[in-house]
Amino acid sequence: MEITIPATVVSEFSDQLERATGININVCFQCRKCTSGCPLAYAMDFTPPQLLHAARLGLRDAVLGSKTIWLCASCETCVTRCPQDVDIVKVMDSLKSLAIRTGIEPAVPEVAYFYRSSIRSILAFGRVYELGLIGQLKLGTRKFRKDLGLGLKMLRKRKLPLLPDLSAIGRNWGLLSKVQKWERR
Amino acid sequence: MKYAYYPGCSLHSTAREYDSSLLPVCRMLGMELDELRHWVCCGSSAIYAAPWRLSLAIAFKNMAQVEKQGMSEMMIPCPACLSKFKRARYETTRQPEWRQKLETIVGHKFKRDIVVRHPLEVMSGEGMLAEVRRLVKVKLSGLKLVCYYGCLLTRPPEVTGAEDAEYPQSMDRLMRSLDATVMEWGNRTDCCGASFALTRTDIVRKLSHDILEGARQVGAQAIVVACPLCQLNLDARQTEVEKEYGASYNIPIFYFTELMGIALGIPGRNLLLERHFVDGVPALKGVGIL
């Protein structure tokens, strides 16, 4: 990817992130303690401090189009160890939700698809309906045979309820729009 | 003490054996768990696809229900759920105006602070450990264990309140009080890959392999966990891990509540041990337990 680095170091993008999360990523001084302890760094395209630096430079498309934001497992190791108290996980989480809202093609599509279908299911039913979610994921990723044997074993062990639990249905309706309104203000 | 029990989705589905061992063990220890009515899912990893403040609103919604049912303390066995509630408390303590905003969103004005606890926090206190030791009927002597805490039970410590996030000890202490042999190991707070199980299973296999390998190297006969996702990844994916890495583990993954249940004399069949993928019974029989 061709990358042009803008002249300003503190970018509009990092400001936007700060407004959404309350976190100033510009205080990261690239010590890379986060990367040393990151269990997912091996699979990422940018290491966490590289991603923070890109965001700081305003490289919005590179950041939102990265694998890194989708491969962060939110294990909180980096947050625990960061000497500058940068809540990297919160930044990663906000970037995921921003990427979805912006409509940027997710670099790890199956993960993005999974989160999107789960949140729809949770907002609709109030609780996770595992089988429904797995079905949706299969339709979305077209990997119909993945984990089939395991799924059957789980059904036999009665670890996957056949029907959705409807005792909290409707309890989450309207919640998302209220939160969105709050965030926009 | 009475607690509002928040099982979360897992304890009603993939982690039924956590639920069925937690409840009788708590009862024996004088902890009364009353399941919260109409609780809603904490948002799990799905919340990443939504504005992150939504998880705060969901936590507030559930905490409002706790107060409406006349309780003030929550018991949350799933660390992923737990961390969402602790996060909501943390953020709103730092920013009181957020608390007001969230109260408006969920339509409830709190009179009291709702306290959020994991069963391990309560059970590993000094007084409770003495009580556990007093109640033990079947000592777990000779059973070599490693305690696996995973991520969110302890991290980040400013949110979870963990006394030592890099080297937690609560489960180790509890297992020692049952007379088990608790081994030292280097993977206690590693990540298992969590919800990547369904999407990037390769990641879960790699991370779970590292953990299983760590347990094998110190000669552990079982891994003890406190998280439904850790249990599922290490247990249900173990055969796949063995195949991919050419290894042989056959290490059962117990919830700490299951081992407590056995030690406190609750019959194994009531604990639903048969729901595990890696059979835990031979390891227990091998040292004369069960």
Which of B96, B26, B101, B106 has its CA nearest to residue B59? B106
Taking CA–CA distances from A179, the nearest residue in chain B reads B54
Do residues B276 and A156 make contact, with C-beta atoms less than 8 angstroms apart? no
Q: A115 and B193: CB-CB below 8 Å?
A: no
Residue whose pair of structure tokens reads 């299973």 in the numeric block? B201
Q: Cα angle vertex A129, ends A123, A135, to 5°?
A: 110
Average the pLDDT over B103-130 and give the result: 96
**CA distances to A11, A75, B63, B194 from B79, in Å:** 36, 11, 17, 11
Minimal CA separation from A106 to chain B, in Å? 12
Contact partners, residue A27, CB within 8 Å, separation at least 6: A84, A85, A86
- Whole-angstrom Cα distance, residue B207 to residue B227? 16
Contacts B68 to A, Cβ<8 Å? none
Q: A172 and B61: CB-CB below 8 Å?
A: yes
Q: A172 and B58: CB-CB below 8 Å?
A: yes
Q: Count the neighbouring beta carbons within 10 Å of the beta carbon of residue B135.
A: 16
Minimal CA separation from A121 to chain B, in Å? 9
The whole-model pTM stands at 0.95
Residue-wise pLDDT for A143-180, tens only, equals 888 898 999 999 999 999 998 898 888 888 889 999 99
Do residues B238 and B215 make contact, with C-beta atoms less than 8 angstroms apart? no
Rg, C-alpha atoms of chain B: 19
Q: B61 and A43: CB-CB below 8 Å?
A: no
Residue-wise pLDDT for B27-74, tens only, equals 999 999 999 999 999 998 888 888 889 999 999 999 999 999 999 999
Do residues A121 and A47 make contact, with C-beta atoms less than 8 angstroms apart? no
Q: A147 and B203: CB-CB below 8 Å?
A: no
Residue-wise pLDDT for B230-244, tens only, equals 999 999 999 999 999
- Cross-sheet strand order for the sheet of B222-225: B181-182, B144-148, B222-225, B253-255
Q: Cα angle vertex A12, ends A11, A17, to 5°?
A: 100
